[in-house]
Structure 1
Amino acid sequence: MKGCNTRAAKLFTLLSLTLLSASVQAHSPEQHAHAHAKPTEAADATVHFAAVPLLDQHGQTVNLKEDLVADKLVVMSFVYTSCTTVCPVVSGLMKQVQDQLGERIGSEVQLVSISVDPLRDTPTRLQQYAQGFNAGDGWSWLTGTTQSINQTLKGLGAWAADYDAHPPLIMVGDGRSDNWSRFYGFTAPEVLVAKVNELSHARHSLAQHNPAIHAGAHP
């Protein structure tokens, strides 16, 4: 009888471990991403925009600095479409920023998502992916040649040798003042929107003290 009880206990332990393992592996991509992400932290950033051609989700050639950043306030993320953990969460956060900023997107604020896997992320694939997040006209999704993307990412301080292990990162900046911040981890959309508003208020404050700037620049 003692031997039977021992075997039963071992079987129960093995079954419990199997169920626990299955539970861990079956959690959602969002849970997986949160489990592996660093706590949210922000850092001031110095950026350089590589003068290279990129392609948006419509297959149009664009220059990141001249055509999209220009003098706008910008919220920028880095993703790839085959990612099932970090990237859907980051893109979901961007979608919430889009929703919260509403009509300001496309006029005062530009959203940009850059693929870190240009070999697979064609414009068509990016467009299909963007539709899953109801991306509007003011949200551009960019890809390009490997060389162009690598130069772009390095200039922005967002390049990683292994794109599959790139950290969750969203940047917020002002194309006019070149004031940029990097937000590492899963940053609440309210924090990102607050940073956009901070940069917007700084613009208006500067314009009030310098009418010439106000007269020659857009909001």
Structure 2
Amino acid sequence: MKSGIAIALLGLGLTAGSATAHSPEEHAAHMAQQAANPHAQHQAQGGVEPGAEVAFADVPLLDQEGRELRLKDDLVGDRIVVMGFVYTSCTTVCPVVSAIMQKLQKQLGERAGTEVQLISLSIDPLRDTPERLREYAGRYEAGAGWRWVTGSSEAVADTLKGLGTWTANYQDHPPLIMVGDGRTQTWTRFYGFTDPAVLMARVNELSAVRGHDGHGPTAIAQESHP
């Protein structure tokens, strides 16, 4: 699996930092979890799930600076959102997902944090304190437009269930990034190591729809929450 992770990274033009690999046992457990999951077909194929149903749990969460927030009101709001799911002790898929988000952040430039909000949500809240997330975010040069989120076990579980991304064992979670529009509640789940260019294309599609409605990037930046 180490060579598989490396090939995935090289194919995307990314680096994994300190990433290591799945053991055969970890890979077998991961595949078994996928088989029991209702989204397993998309996951196993590294596929795309458009029209994903999403609900935002009204629970308190914390960002990497320890600030309390509500995911929908304070981060999603009226923005276009790219959301990844990771945990800091993960040495398999999470470094790749974070590297993909890092490259997307660079491609977005000044759009990150205004028109587009990047979010990395920890799925291991017992260990991932705000301080730990802040240190981890630094490895990927996360800017102001990329927020890292944790919270109590109950709050994170409720959040993941509402987003349709909860798994019984967080260590077996699939590589997953969601792209959506907080205004229209149009969401797509991308399973597997998705090329940042594909995610960028989806962001631009959502932005173009807004432009047709008279709400282009300039208007969106002015409307976005602080």
Correspondence 1:150 to 2:157: yes
Q: Percent identity over the alignment?
A: 55
Given candidates 77, 91, 95, the residue that maps to 1:70 is 77
- 2:18 paired residue number: none
Kindly indicate whether the alpha-carbon contact (under 8 Å) linking 1:39 and 1:186 is maintained by their aligned counterparts in 2.
Answer: no
- 2:194 paired residue number: 187
Given candidates 77, 81, 84, the residue that maps to 2:88 is 81
Given candidates 100, 103, 117, the residue that maps to 1:96 is 103
- 1:14 paired residue number: none
Structure 1 runs (4+) greater than 6 angstroms displaced = none
Correspondence 1:172 to 2:179: yes
Instruction: Give distance in 1, aligned partners of 2:158 and 2:97.
Output: 22
The 5 Å alignment of 1:1-219 reads 27=3, 30=6, 32=21, 38-44=44-50, 45-207=52-214, 218=223
Give the 3 Å change call, closer, same or farther, for CA 155–30 of structure 1 in structure 2.
farther
Q: Is the partner of 1:207 in helix, strand or coil?
A: coil
Instruction: Give distance in 1, aligned partners of 2:63 and 2:116.
Output: 17
Report the alpha carbon displacement of residue 41 of structure 1 after superposing the two structures with TM.
1.2
The letter of the residue matching 1:40 is G
Q: Which structure 2 residue ranges, 5 or more long, are not aligned?
A: 8-20, 28-42
Report the alpha carbon displacement of residue 28 of structure 1 after superposing the two structures with TM.
7.9
Give the 3 Å change call, closer, same or farther, for CA 196–173 of structure 1 in structure 2.
same
Report the alpha carbon displacement of residue 38 of structure 1 after superposing the two structures with TM.
3.7
Structure with the bigger percentage of helix: 1
Give the 3 Å change call, closer, same or farther, for CA 159–206 of structure 1 in structure 2.
same
Report the alpha carbon displacement of residue 127 of structure 1 after superposing the two structures with TM.
0.3
Q: Deviations over 1:94-145 (max 9, x none)?
A: 0011000111001100000000000000000000000000000010000000
Q: Is the partner of 2:174 in helix, strand or coil?
A: coil
Give the TM-score taking structure 2 as reference length: 0.78
Q: Deviations over 1:68-95 (max 9, x none)?
A: 0000000000000000010000000000
Q: Is the partner of 1:121 in helix, strand or coil?
A: coil
Report the alpha carbon displacement of residue 49 of structure 1 after superposing the two structures with TM.
0.2
When Rg is computed on C-alpha atoms for both structures, the one with the higher figure is 1
- C-alpha root-mean-square deviation of aligned residues, in Å? 2.2
Give the TM-score taking structure 1 as reference length: 0.80
Q: Is the partner of 2:55 in helix, strand or coil?
A: coil
Instruction: Give distance in 2, aligned partners of 1:30 and 1:144.
Output: 32
Report the alpha carbon displacement of residue 218 of structure 1 after superposing the two structures with TM.
3.7
The letter of the residue matching 1:100 is Q
Instruction: Give distance in 2, aligned partners of 1:183 and 1:100.
Output: 18
The letter of the residue matching 2:49 is A
Report the alpha carbon displacement of residue 40 of structure 1 after superposing the two structures with TM.
2.8
Instruction: Give distance in 2, aligned partners of 1:72 and 1:140.
Output: 13
Instruction: Give distance in 2, aligned partners of 1:206 and 1:180.
Output: 18
